[in-house]
Amino acid sequence: MNIKDISEARDPLLSASVAAMKRAGEQARQRAVTTRTRLVVWRDGQIRYIDPSVSERDSTGAMGTTDASTRMYQPTEHQST
C-alpha cells in the first residue's frame, strides 16, 4: 500500500481538508477555554482529557500537551461493561 500525505492529494477538496480539520480543532479548543471544559482526544490508544489553557503547539503546529494537562480516562463502575 502506498501511503501519501493527505495534504499532497490531487483532489483539491481532500487536500483542503487538512486545513479544515486544523480550523475545527482550534475552534474546539477556543470553545473549551470559553466554557472552562477539557478537550477529549484519543492519544496513544487511550482517551485523554486535555486542559486547553495549558496546551501548546509542537514544531509541526499540532496541538500538544504537557504531562500536567492530560489525564487518562478511567471509566467509573457503572460505565464498565
In the predicted model, is pLDDT for residue 58 greater than 50? no
Residues 71 and 65: beta-carbon distance below 8 Å:
no
- What's this model's pTM, rounded to 2 decimal places? 0.56
Across 4-26, average pLDDT: 86
In the predicted model, is pLDDT for residue 14 greater than 90? no
Q: What is the DSSP string of 9-22?
A: -SSHHHHHHHHHHH
How far apart CA 63 and CA 29 sit, in angstroms, is 10
CA nearest to 72, candidates 33, 35, 45: 45
How far apart CA 72 and CA 47 sit, in angstroms, is 6
Q: What is the pLDDT of residue 11?
A: 84
Q: Is 78 a domain residue?
A: no
Q: Is 29 a domain residue?
A: yes
Q: Is 77 a domain residue?
A: no
Q: Is 3 a domain residue?
A: no
For the chain, the average pLDDT equals 75
- Give the total number of structural domains in the chain: 1
- The domain containing residue 46 runs over which residues? 10-72
Could you tell me the pLDDT band of residue 65, with boundaries at 50, 70 and 90?
Answer: very low
Q: Is 5 a domain residue?
A: no
